[in-house]
Structure 1
């Protein structure tokens, strides 16, 4: 693999609305696009799409790590295989978001040169489309219920509710939505995500207040650095608890399993720094009796393609998946964009990610560009 130049583009992508959780409220996706260029004119692309207030690296952090450290090393070493790339990236401490973007672009190019889709690296797709989970931001209980009904009517079989950290109103949010879209436990699956907004005692009280409801799981109710607290919540309620923000590495996943801190886990390639590690994590979780939810709710089409190709090729995934970023964007400089029909997304066809840059649109979304040679 002869990588001659690398382009880094900072993108601003307008979203269809404002998306509110306990840790953020934003309406523009600030992303970083990586383009690996070969002497033969081939290219591989990857995006890093951090959520403000949630991701552990900001877009500026990511851009600086790529330009100053990671990509110059990639140009110099020019690894010839995914394993060699992993070996190179492991020599750098931290920067998982940036590393994931590099791996994405590298795997895209690697697969394009061999003429097969990314899913082949994961053993081959078991299905050609993935069901998607709807995302509902913080609002009044009735408004969240009405939005859940709208998603259900479009064909979505599951929805995630964002919680604020207010025990009384969050309990009302969960109860209202469950009653509106999942009466008699035969309707839409309802998930709830607190993004670490609760103390242990309040999280237990919240979980117990909704035990009579068909809640699929309560996601990361306590801060990410309190695994023992998360375990206390899990053992104190019949509501399934899912770990998310605390899963910063495979080592953290092993700790969650050994402490019995959660019934289910959420793994994100961008946070782990690697799609390949994410597949390993799904397999480890399954061996430990835990199913895995996968998906970044604000990823652009390149990142979303990698996630749905991974999940479609991997057992142990709890569906619907949460890779719903593209449906929140007004437009993107990529084709095809990942779209949803009847609550499902079809895997892109073609080699690699199956997603390409629309060059004549790229400039209108770009705020800064850097070329590395």
Structure 2
């Protein structure tokens, strides 16, 4: 497959409600959509980097710049490009996993469309529908939080994740558990908001029967995660700490976690995400698919990944309506707590031209 051109589009999708975490509050999801033109047809992808380098060092404008200035010229020079060859071609460029993941996703889409293969089958998926949960942001009041949780449980979500931070942790979790009972699968996510000195405080979460506590400490601080894991009954899950299969091996060997959240953008693409999954399976550790407020393009690809056998917990994929009134693709809907895995070739979905044009803020075409 030969790459002949590309289009970079910035799109802006207003969120249905503000989404607040320990890192800040989002009201709009700005995303970078990538379309590659190849000798075998076109491929679509999105880059999941945020506007600012908060969740990770990457940011959206920087991702577009590195794709435009460095990645595309390198890929234009490859005579026979395939999905596995993307990482090889870009190996000399350090970092930028979200930008690399977007390029790989578009190459995967084009390549698999050409052969009539869906992404789920290519990755080794074993399910046609996957259970999904929902992430609930920090709210102004506990009553508001309880209202949101009730709404999502009524909608059929099979797992509730609460965002927490110092000052918004024990009491909100207690209120949700006491209101909705012990049978509701419940997790919490700190997005690195705590320090090792908070260990005693975090141990209080043990009383609520949580499925896991996600990423309480800084990404590089595996030592503190390991100490907390040894001190708590609740499993520790790592997110930001896991940027590759090698990171997963290191974290598991150190006892820093017993659950892994896999985000393809964070680890550099769906092929590396599959390797993280395989590492976790070899260690007998469950994984689940995290979310980055993706458009329908990323949502479709994440569903394909979540169909792999090691994804044992409902992911943060959620229905389109959880986040957007209008998306750039056809919407995804929850039925009985599950989303269908796309079965069409490639990632299984393409943008709706009218919606894509409406939500586009700028576009740039690049040719070889």
Mapped partners of 1:268, 1:208: distance in 2: 26
Closer, same or farther: CA 4–297 of 1 in aligned 2, 3 Å: closer
Mapped partners of 1:269, 1:49: distance in 2: 9
SS at match of 2:355: helix
Mapped partners of 1:237, 1:113: distance in 2: 49
Aligned to 1:368: 362
Deviation at 1:86, TM superposition (A): 2.3
2:10 and 2:361 in contact (8 A); partners too? yes
Closer, same or farther: CA 330–50 of 1 in aligned 2, 3 Å: farther
Q: Could you list the runs of 5+ residues in structure 2 that have no partner in the other structure?
A: none
Which deviates more from structure 2 when the two are superposed, residues 342-351 or residues 98-107?
342-351
- Cα deviation digits, residues 127-183 of structure 1 (max 9, x gap): 2111111111112333222321221111111110000222xx4101111111222x2
The count of aligned residue pairs is 363
2:255 maps to 1:260: yes
| Aligned partner of 2:232 among 234, 237, 242 | 237
Mapped partners of 2:39, 2:276: distance in 1: 35
Deviation at 1:39, TM superposition (A): 5.1
Mapped partners of 1:289, 1:178: distance in 2: 28
Mapped partners of 1:78, 1:360: distance in 2: 34
Instruction: Name the TM-score, length of structure 2 as normaliser.
Output: 0.94
| Aligned partner of 1:343 among 337, 341, 362 | 337
Instruction: Name the TM-score, length of structure 1 as normaliser.
Output: 0.93
Mapped partners of 2:292, 2:306: distance in 1: 15
2:151 maps to 1:150: yes
1:111 and 1:118 in contact (8 A); partners too? yes
1:300 and 1:325 in contact (8 A); partners too? no
1:157 and 1:320 in contact (8 A); partners too? yes
Mapped partners of 1:337, 1:84: distance in 2: 32
2:192 maps to 1:196: yes
Mapped partners of 1:367, 1:146: distance in 2: 34
Aligned to 2:174: 175
1:305 and 1:355 in contact (8 A); partners too? yes
Q: Tell me which stretches of 4 or more aligned residues in structure 1 moved more than 6 Å.
A: none
Mapped partners of 1:117, 1:79: distance in 2: 21
| Aligned partner of 1:215 among 210, 218, 221 | 210
Deviation at 1:212, TM superposition (A): 2.0
- Cα deviation digits, residues 51-95 of structure 1 (max 9, x gap): 442133111011101111101211221443222222112232111
Q: CA RMSD in A?
A: 1.6
Mapped partners of 2:190, 2:131: distance in 1: 23
Mapped partners of 2:192, 2:246: distance in 1: 20
- Cα deviation digits, residues 117-136 of structure 1 (max 9, x gap): 1112112x322111111111
